[in-house]
Amino acid sequence: MSVVTLIGAGQMASALTFPLIENGHKVRLVGSPLDDEIIDRLKEDNYHVNLRRTLHEGIEYVKCVQVEEALKGADLVVCGVSSFGVDWFADNILAILDESVPVISVTKGMLDYEDGTMKTYPEYWQEKLPKDSKLRLYAIGGPCTARDLSDHDPSFVGFCGPDFETLRQIRDIFATDYYVISLTLDVVGLECAVALKNGYALGTALAIGMAEKAGDDGVDHNNSESALFQESVKEMLDLLRIVGGGVDNIMFAAGDLNVTVAAGRSRTVGLLLGKGYTIEETMEQLQGQTLEAVVIATRTARAVKALANAKKVCIDDFPLLMHVDELLNQGKTLNIPWEKFQKEM
């Protein structure tokens, strides 16, 4: 039995308690500063109000102020904060972690810099550590929604990090017959792949909104949605090459894109924009929800434009990303650049 402390009581971290408890581990679920109400309800009856599932008996629920106590004796720490909690985790948690205990993150996203460089969150956190720190950071990526995982729907993901020995140990802690895990040392490739899908899920879901707006009864509009999905995969593959990630990770990007277009906030943003709403009207409708798709699409487009200005990439290779950026940040109206998708290969 291992002791696993999960920091952040969001949907995915909470869903991970299912395989952990079922594998016989001791589980501590620690809320972020924004999770006090979630923790209070979990203590009552194990019901997670956002995940809308009842968690297993035996989980220790802990508020953020008691995080140091919850870290004592842990064999593995899981970072389960949203992308908006990345700096909080860096500033408040990294410094109190035992360097001999591995940390694995389910937080998806990237940061961009003025020169067009894009960095994964594990890279960002590593830079925040003292140069002599021995803390090892690992991460999870792939097509897996929290509710489906809670319901034991077979899920296939990737774990990445600096060494296979620890990755295998972490996989043994989590793996079940419904939670299947590949391993890779390519942190940049896997993490970038699954971060990019949020922005492109927004772009692909534009077709769903366009179809709903048209109101064509009995017409599925599968061609248009598939065309945007196809262009998304092509552009994500180009971006993987740009950041130096292995192209094999495109399978995780495509899988994650598929599941995100099927349901979730990224789909909803794209759907509303596809129906003709402005980004301001869309944000108003989704008030209070974390819209990671908007953040990652904006950051990625900004990075591509910086690289294009430096003559390192051709901006015409990313017509869908650029149009999504126009919708989000330039007040443009919906006008899918279909002809720009054409290639001579």
Q: What is the mean pLDDT of residues 143-168?
A: 97
- CB contact set of 343 (below 8 Å; sequence gap of 6+): none
Query: Across the strands, what pairs with 334?
Result: none
pLDDT digits (tens, 9 = 90+) for 133-155: 999 999 999 999 999 999 999 99
Domain locations in the chain? 3-185, 193-338
Q: Decide if pLDDT at 263 tops 90.
A: no
Query: Across the strands, what pairs with 6?
Result: 29, 78
Q: Decide if pLDDT at 288 tops 90.
A: no
Q: What is the mean pLDDT of residues 308-314?
A: 94
Query: Across the strands, what pairs with 3?
Result: 26
Per the prediction, the chain carries an average pLDDT of 94
Among 5-14, 20-29, 215-224, the minimum mean pLDDT is found in: 215-224
Q: Are 36 and 58 in contact (CB under 8 A)?
A: no
Q: Determine the pLDDT at residue 265.
A: 87
Q: Decide if pLDDT at 32 tops 80.
A: yes
Confidence at 181, pLDDT banded by 50, 70, 90: very high
Q: Determine the pLDDT at residue 291.
A: 79
Q: Determine the pLDDT at residue 221.
A: 74
Q: What is the mean pLDDT of residues 6-34?
A: 97
Query: Across the strands, what pairs with 54?
Result: 47
**Could you tell me which CATH number the domain at 3-185 has?**
3.40.50.720
> What does residue 28 show for φ and ψ, rounded to 5 degrees?
-120, 125
Q: What is the mean pLDDT of residues 312-325?
A: 96
Q: What is the mean pLDDT of residues 102-112?
A: 94
Q: Decide if pLDDT at 35 tops 80.
A: yes
With CA atoms as reference, report the closest residue to 278 among 323, 319, 324, 333: 333
Q: What is the mean pLDDT of residues 66-87?
A: 95
* 193-338 belongs to CATH 1.10.1040.10: yes
Tokens of 126: 């590593």
Q: What is the mean pLDDT of residues 65-80?
A: 97
Q: How far apart are CA 99 and CA 86, in angstroms?
A: 19
pTM of the model: 0.92
Q: Decide if pLDDT at 217 tops 70.
A: no
Q: How far apart are CA 191 and CA 122, in angstroms?
A: 9
Higher pLDDT, 220 or 133: 133
Looking at the chain, how many residues does it have?
Answer: 345
With CA atoms as reference, report the closest residue to 78 among 142, 150, 3, 145: 3
Neighbours of 119 (CB within 10 A): 19
Q: Decide if pLDDT at 218 tops 70.
A: no
